[in-house]
Amino acid sequence: MICSLQKQQKLLNNIDSQKKKYFHKKQKLEDHSTDCSNSSSASSSPQLLKADSNQSLPQAKRKLIRKPQKFVLKNKIIAEGHRGAGIHMVENTLPCFRRGIEIGLNSVELDVWLTSDKQIVVVHGKDDDTIQLDDGSFKKINEMSFQEITEKYTIKGEKCPLLRDVLFTCKDKVHVNIEIKGRENEMCENVLNLVIECGMIGQVHFSSFLHYHQPLLIQALESHNLPTNSIQFGYLIWEHKDFQTFDQINFKGNILAFPCNFVYDEFALPYIFKAQERGMRLSTYFDFDVIENFNIYKRLYDIGVDCIITNQPQLLVNFLKKFQKQN
């Protein structure tokens, strides 16, 4: 869904006031794990006043409260679970992916690395490519075998799975966004081999903050005599400096994925609109410290976002059920 120039300008107006009103961060997501509308502070809640609350207001003020226009989603938005099912289960574990399917997500996102014995493991890891083992020490993922990871690493009591097991869990049930975390050049080739083995071409796409993986994906597809558009690539953006190589992106048919706060960012929005005009799909992701709410979802829709990667999948699914245009 391409955003018109007139609508782009409207969205760029009053960014600061919109951000202050609807974009909130929190210390612990658990405090808002189901619905941010339960906030006790009127100043921090984006929800409209209840109709019966008008009775206690002076007549002049009651006239200022207008009935909101009906909001309808005319275009489909993909609901994608961050690391499986967001806050609902332990991230990047088989129970978490099963929960995402049960909730009714269209897609799930996961993170993959290559182990020392060339197994593709699903785990988020840290910025320095390590995981913290159960004994408190840190070790690089690519320096450990999968067996060593299984023996020495758990996350809240759960073991991290192999990508193979996650793909078979999701097959014919939900789309899978495979984020390439490992830096090895053979990552895309190895992951593609597994996707082909599982018979899931057309049910996955790749993504990465390491944009050099995109041409490596193209090479891997060509080596299998597959069309280069068989699997889309998501260019993940984290901060303003990531736009420095913007013109080097392979736009058409691929995905631009950016943090949700960029929808209130006058520097980032022109790049987002430009990517959209050049044929990219738009995807946005939420950090775990951001309170999700219907008003942010509505702004994402207005901008033309195709996919929302959520940490509160039940809230997003409820939003889509409530406002999706009935056929």
pLDDT digits (tens, 9 = 90+) for 260-271: 999 999 999 999
Question: How much of the chain exceeds pLDDT 90, in percent?
Answer: 74
Cα–Cα distance list, 111 to 73, 181, 201, 206 (Å): 30, 6, 18, 10
**What's the pTM?**
0.83
C-beta separation of 18 from 264 below 8 A: yes
* pLDDT score for 39: 35
C-beta separation of 166 from 97 below 8 A: yes
Mean pLDDT taken over the chain: 85
Other CB atoms within a 10 A radius of the CB of residue 155 amount to: 16
Tell me how many degrees the CA angle 182-184-186 measures, rounded to the nearest 5: 115
* pLDDT score for 23: 76
Query: Is residue 6 in some structural domain?
Result: no
* pLDDT score for 11: 66
Domain total in the chain: 1
Angle between helices 163-170 and 94-103 (to 10 degrees): 20
Query: Is residue 271 in some structural domain?
Result: yes
Residues 264, 19: Cα–Cα separation, whole Å? 6
DSSP for residue 256: E
Signed CA dihedral, 158, 196, 222, 272: sign only: negative
Residues 120, 131: Cα–Cα separation, whole Å? 15
> Going by C-beta distance under 8 Å and a sequence separation of 6 or more, which residues neighbour residue 228?
218, 221, 222
* pLDDT score for 14: 66
Query: Is residue 90 in some structural domain?
Result: yes
Query: Is residue 78 in some structural domain?
Result: yes
Rounded to an integer, the average pLDDT of 152-163 is 95
Cα–Cα distance list, 150 to 133, 143, 147, 153, 205 (Å): 10, 14, 5, 6, 27
Query: Is residue 305 in some structural domain?
Result: yes
C-beta separation of 182 from 115 below 8 A: no
* pLDDT score for 110: 98
Query: Is residue 181 in some structural domain?
Result: yes
Query: Is residue 223 in some structural domain?
Result: yes
pLDDT beyond 80 at 205? yes
Q: Which range is most confident: 9-13, 35-39, 48-52?
A: 9-13
The partner residues of 110 in beta bridges, in order of sequence, read 178
- The larger pLDDT score, comparing residue 252 to residue 84, is at 84
Query: Is residue 69 in some structural domain?
Result: no
Q: Which range is most confident: 24-28, 62-66, 95-99?
A: 95-99
**Domain range for 186:** 74-115+163-323
Please, which pLDDT band fits residue 295 given cuts at 50, 70 and 90?
A: very high
* pLDDT score for 79: 97
Here the CATH number for the domain that contains residue 106 is 3.20.20.190
The token pair at 275 is: 């990517």
pLDDT beyond 90 at 34? no
